[in-house]
Amino acid sequence: VTSGTGRRPFQPTMAMKLYGPTGRSNRVKAVAGWTGVPLEQPPFTMGVTNRTPEFLAKNPFGKVPVLETPDGECIFESNAIARFLASSARSTLYPPAAVTRARIDAWMDAFNTLDCIGPLWFYPIVGIGADRGLTHDPANVAKAQATLRAFLAVLEAHLAGNTYLVGDAITLADVIGANALEVVYMSLMAPGDWAPYPATHRWLTTVYAQPKYLDSVGVVPPCQSVIAYSPEGPQPMPRPQTLMELWPAKRIRQTFLDYFESKGHTVVPSSPVVPHDDPTLLFANAGMNQFKAIFLGKADPKGPLAKLTRATDTQKCIRAGGKHNDLDDVGKDTYHHTFFEMLGNWSFGDFFKREAIYFAWELLTGVYNLPGENLYATYFGGDDAQGLPPDLEARDIWLELLPASKVLPFGCADNFWEMGDVGPCGPCTEIHYDRIGGRDASHLVNMDDPMCLEIWNVVFIQFNREEGGALKTLPKQHVDTGLGFERLASILQGKLSNYDTDIFLPIFAAIQKITGAPPYTGKLAPEDVGEKDMAYRVVADHIRTLTFAISDGAAPGSDGRDYVLRRVLRRAVRFGREKLGAKQGFFQKLVQTVVDLFGEVFPEIVKHQARVTAIIADEEESFGRTLVKGIDQFKKLAAAARAAGTDTVAGADAFLLWESFGFPVDLTEIMAEEIGMRVDSPGFETALKEAQEKSRAGGKKSGGVTLLFEAEATAWLARADVPTTDDAPKYADGTNPRAAVRAILTSGGFVQSTEGVAGPFGMVLDRTSFYAESGGQVCDTGVVKTGNGSLAVDEVKVAAGFVLHSGARVEGVVRVGDECDVLVDYERRGKIAPNHTMTHVLNLALRAVLGGEVDQKGSLNDDEKLRFDFSHNKAMTADEIKRVEVMVREQIGLKLAVDTREVALAEAKAISGLRAVFGEVYPDPVRVVSVGPKIDDLLATPGNPEWKNYSIEFCGGTHLANTGDAGEFVLLSEEGTAKGIRRITGATKGAAAAALITAAEVAARVKACDSLSGAELEKEMATLKGVVDTAVMPAVQRAEVRDLMTAQIAKMSAALKAAAAVAKASAVKAVGEQAEAAKAAGALYFVSRLGDGTDPAALKDAAAVAFKQGVACALFAADPVKGKAMCYVSVPPSVTGLDLKGWLDAACAPIEGKGGGGKGGTAQGQGNKLEGLAAAIAAADAIVGAEAAPEVKASVRLLIPKSQTGCLIGKGGIIINEMREQTGAQIRVCNKDQIPVCALQGDDMVQITGESS
């Protein structure tokens, strides 16, 4: 076979086509894998495809396999193909020395002896060749068996003294020979049959275990039971299993959970990836997040966490924002992800380092069967600066399993694990896996080398990192382990990339189908020309992140975790569109694939699939519009930079594009380069760091000194034998129990007395009626009063069963052991309870009106309002709000009893219609709050569908005894907080009544506008708009008032439009008359004040009339409603010697205005000093009346009757065309020769009775 004249030489990295699915194709796959030649296998049906003219042109014998080169040349016969591949790629499998090649060829040809095994023995058993007359014949079987035994004897003799067939390394002879014996190894010789051939068996298993053989062919399973011919039909034909088939992702995950369950661990579900009530985290970023309360000593003694000693799970994690942020690395390599699963197991004060390390070793090497010699372990080498010694205990345990060269010390950066800026932490030991093996890879450990990667981190939680960085020893030692699911899958499936596993390949297939892009090929830069493969990785990773995050309650938005998700989505959409040619709407179509892949393990994504899809579709469409706007914005920024004389886009501007339009800086750089500009990268980095600091700080509380009430404090109380607090009295409304002070906490620790100690103070009592903040309800306030002192309580916390009553200062002195009165502010609680109870009823009403898919996403109940967040994809209509409000009021009117009781968790969960907050951990027993039905009735018939019509929830809050006690209920507002999340605010009792009164007052004020008109109406409507927007009033009434205002505004707009038309017509007519009069009198200009309400457009049209007649004019008008004075000056070409701009400036100065224009002989201006209008007119008049004669002054009062019009006209004279009274106007009176004769200032009256007066 030659390349042909003029054709390009063969490149071994070019993809070739391999036709034929037979066993001999495996030897071609193996050699291709060894030589790095990518293969494509077109669909092929034996007996059909190989008989087509097209195939016979490739191989006239119609046999397989056949290899087709990129140039269309075809090679047949498997050994020939193997030689071609190995020699073309200059592979070590086929060294160039002629003698060595001859020996290899001899062995390859020798294995042809075994070709008879197929037709004589194996094919009839599995039903191959029946159409060619191949049938089972015991004589043929015996002949084939004899041939095999003779061959194996020769092979055994040779291999008894040699590791491989030719030389000291694997060659083509070994690959071809091992492939020739695959059928024998898998089907025809049981393990015991190999006893006479130990060297041959060792050789075979060595070749089959080679990573390149495993990658190319798969796992060759040994025969467990020899298959034999059956007259009943063909037997199943064993075949090599690919590593992906042997270790699919589902099996990997389940094997982990099953192993630790067998070691006494409780399998727990993953917590939501959106942390519930943990302000220190944007997202769950490690498996231990849900167990934080245990590590901090804050777990509810009645809750499920307190009962755990060992646990295991697969935790959904996101690292995109905050301290752990992998977003910008995703797509650039083969192992970074924003979403990933963390397989983990935990010990809570149970086993420690020895068991944890041995569990990990046994699972990896004994269950997953990873070679121990490929593993490396690291341990904490100590940190002198923090006074932390090396973890020699972990080191010594590892030395029992690994040689010292594979047990390596590292510092805090690598081997001291911390969840975040605060929280549990401790030394860790990491397990690293060398993908290549057979070498010393210790220098690659912790070097971010993809061929030697960390797979498992075993953390020994011994400390808690507190605010300020202090480390405190935890009261109990725990173990937290995390095994990267995606990385483990890549190892077990024999892939060098996490993205080449069955975790991602189905998503890639869906991307390719939806976008029509070329298939994924796994390339990295710089080979990934056009970043196609990077785009595949980005899109596949990000759709997983968004599907899980939105299912767990987050959504793309403008701040915090929602802003991070918006960035993730926009990054994916941009890569999909730019690099893969995807069309609008492609991204949301991938949700289905993610649900298909992971829905069985994480059923919540199945439940919320429709919502997830809708939110992503909406956000994707929105970004499509934003992308266009962003490109326009870039053009403006670039133009502004060039106008400023620079070729650099400022870093702050690049950050604006990144933050507001989703433009990564690399995209901005590309766009800048295309037009010969550059980006200020350091400036961008500065702006980015500032934003990252804000992201890290998101959700963290700030303020003064607060008392930490966590593991150290609760452990101290336990060691001091302080009993947990009996807080049952909190449910007995009005109770003020006597109690005793058992402990006093300060910022410096526990004290026996408050005397001489600075606050704040926290007191632990043996019993209390105070409610500690939880479940969306704020804590009680009040006083703890002893005989010698008192504490004003403004914060109440609970941890590990201890209730801490905190306040800023103590009046007098309080000591441990003092008896005290527990005095809750029940008046305040009386305002909180109805809000909490009505929140439950509101939840029921929302589901009834909006549908059962509504889920609670958060709540807040205090003494002023109730606030409820819920999942819903669009704003509620006014009608929906009204229906919800009416339903809640009906429940109040029915005066339903509110029943509460602790119930076994399993029994409570069985109640039909019961609602619980997703992600919340409930104690056992759990408190049930039922509005309407008796709990006895609920437990008697838990499956009764009628219960779905009532509010029944898990809740530990304080509630009303009867819904009627809420008195009144209103919904104050409804708004969106993020994509798919709505927030509704309401009020009860007095606050609701006050809101209704306010609404009635505002509505009455709007209706009173019917009697107003003109400027008075316009002014009142402007005031009312602000009132309606800010007043505390029900949302329904607010909408109704706005409807009334809309009608009034429409009426007012119509009136204003009509008035404007009248004013315009009047202005045009008056100016026309005045221009004619001036022209007739030989005047070149005049100054005139037109009627109030004459708008700029009317001034312009009126001035145009004088302009056409060749007369210059300065026109003035007032807008009393807006408080503006307007001026329009016009100087036609025929009037010379008059400075247009100077005239306008003189007129604008008294009204403190600015002007513009000047082209075409016109200019206009306006100012906010309405009282300066008379002076402005006088100033304009002075410009054109400089030659005035001596004036005779008189005091007059000028009155123009409404039935008359009139004017005083002259050179520089003022023209009056208003039908209204003017007081204080200065009037210049001229004689018939246009010479001013007097100035009149109003005290006296002059009557003007006609146009000629």
- Predicted confidence (pLDDT) per residue in 1104-1121, tens digit: 999 999 999 999 999 887
- Of 59-68, 106-115, 429-438, 1203-1212, the range with the lowest mean pLDDT is 1203-1212
Give me the mean pLDDT over the 43-59 stretch.
91
Joined tokens for residue 296: 């901090």
935/911 Cα distance (integer angstroms): 10
pLDDT exceeds cutoff 50 at 442 = yes
pLDDT exceeds 80 at position 820 = yes
Question: Given a cut of 60, is residue 1219 above it in pLDDT?
Answer: no
- Judged against a pLDDT cut of 90, whether residue 928 lies above it is answered with yes
Burial grade of 910 (CB within 10 A; 0-12, 13-18, 19 or more)? middle
Instruction: Note the pLDDT of residue 346.
Output: 96
Helix 198-208 to helix 138-159 angle (10° resolution) is 90
| H-helix segments, 338-484 | 353-361, 392-398, 412-415
pLDDT tier at 36, thresholds 50, 70, 90: confident
Rounded CA-CA distance 1176/1178 in Å is 5
Q: ∠ CA 656-661-665 to the nearest 5 degrees?
A: 60
Could you tell me how far CA 30 lies from the centroid of its own chain? 43
Q: At what angle do helices 591-598 and 609-643 cross, to 10 degrees?
A: 130
User: What does the alpha-carbon distance between residue 320 and residue 545 come to, in Å, rounded to a whole number?
Assistant: 9
Cα gap 483→313, rounded to integer Å: 11
What share of the chain in percent tops pLDDT 70? 91
- Beta partners for residue 815, in sequence order: 753
Lowest mean pLDDT, pick from 103-112, 509-518, 925-934, 1003-1012: 1003-1012
Q: For the chain, what is the mean pLDDT?
A: 87
Judged against a pLDDT cut of 50, whether residue 568 lies above it is answered with: yes
pLDDT band at 5 (very low <50, low <70, confident <90, very high): very low
The confidence score (pLDDT) of residue 91 equals: 85
pLDDT the model gives residue 436: 85
Residue 247 has pLDDT above 90, yes or no: yes
Q: Is the pLDDT of residue 587 over 80?
A: yes
Question: What average pLDDT score do residues 823-848 get?
Answer: 96
**C-beta separation of 1237 from 1211 below 8 A:** no
DSSP H helices in 63-122: 78-88, 98-110, 117
Tokens of 955: 């809740």
27 contact partners, CB below 8 Å, separation of at least 6 = 78, 79, 82, 175, 176, 179, 180
Q: How far is CA 860 from CA 186, 838, 863, 953, 962, in A?
A: 66, 12, 10, 16, 21
pLDDT for residue 1208: 45
Tens of pLDDT along 314-351?
999 998 876 556 787 899 988 889 999 999 999 999 99
Tell me what pLDDT residue 1211 has: 33
- Closest residue by Cα to residue 1230 from 1250, 1213, 1242, 1207: 1213
Q: Pairing between strand 1236-1247 and 1226-1230?
A: antiparallel
CB 345 within 8 A of CB 288: no
pLDDT above 90 covers a percentage of the chain that reads 63
Q: Which residue has the higher pLDDT, 665 or 355?
A: 355
The predicted model gives 662-683 an average pLDDT of: 80
138-142: average pLDDT: 96
Nearest to 113 by CA among 144, 153, 74: 144
Band the pLDDT of 208: cuts 50, 70, 90.
very high
1193, pLDDT greater than 50: no
**pLDDT in the model for residue 782:** 96
Nearest alpha carbon to residue 898 among 933, 866, 865? 933
Q: What is the pLDDT of residue 89?
A: 80
Least confident segment among 56-60, 117-121, 563-567, 1030-1034:
563-567
- Say whether pLDDT at 857 is over 50: yes
CA distances from 1119 to 875, 1060, 1086, 1096, 1156 (A): 39, 12, 22, 10, 19
Rounded Cα–Cα distance for residues 612 and 273 (Å): 15
Query: Residue 900 burial (CB < 10 Å; 0-12/13-18/19+)?
Result: middle
Q: Is the pLDDT of residue 1189 over 70?
A: no
pLDDT band with cut points at 50, 70 and 90 for residue 471: confident
pLDDT-derived band of residue 487, with 50, 70 and 90 as boundaries? very high
Question: What is the average pLDDT across 459-479?
Answer: 82
pLDDT in tens, 835-846: 999 999 999 999
- How far, in Å, CA of 92 to CA of 1233, rounded? 118
- Top pLDDT among 255 and 685 is at 255
Query: Where is mean pLDDT largest: 339-348, 421-430, 977-986?
Result: 339-348
Lowest mean pLDDT among 284-298, 847-861, 1142-1156, 1231-1245: 1231-1245
β-bridge mates for residue 899, sequence order: 930
E strands within 446-570? 452-465, 471-484
Helices (H) and strands (E) in the chain, counts: 38, 40
Q: What is the pLDDT of residue 834?
A: 97
* Whether 1127 contacts 1176, CB under 8 Å: yes
Across the range 82-89, mean pLDDT stands at: 90
Quote the pLDDT of residue 14: 64
- Better pLDDT: 799 or 419: 799
**Encoded tokens for 203:** 């050789």
Using only C-alpha atoms, what is the Rg of the chain?
43
Condensed to tens digits (0 to 9), the pLDDT of residues 735-778 reads: 999 999 999 999 889 999 999 999 899 999 999 999 999 889 99
Q: Is residue 223 within 8 Å of 185, Cβ to Cβ?
A: yes
Q: Which of 161-165, 636-640, 998-1002 has the lowest mean pLDDT?
A: 636-640
**The predicted structure's pLDDT at residue 1253:** 31
Q: Is residue 1252 scored above 60 in pLDDT?
A: no
Distance between the two ends of the chain, CA-based, in angstroms?
118
Considering only CA atoms, which of 1232, 1233, 1239, 1230 is closest in space to residue 1212? 1230
107-140 core/surface letters (b: 16 or more CB in 10 A; e: else): bbebbeebeebbbbbbbbbbebeeeeebeeeeeb
In a 3-state reduction of DSSP, which class is residue 1008?
Answer: helix
> How deeply is 401 buried, as exposed, middle or buried, from its count of CB atoms within 10 A (0-12, 13-18, 19+)?
middle
Of the two residues 297 and 875, the one the predictor is more confident about is 875
Task: Determine contact, residues 952/915, Cβ cutoff 8 Å.
Answer: yes
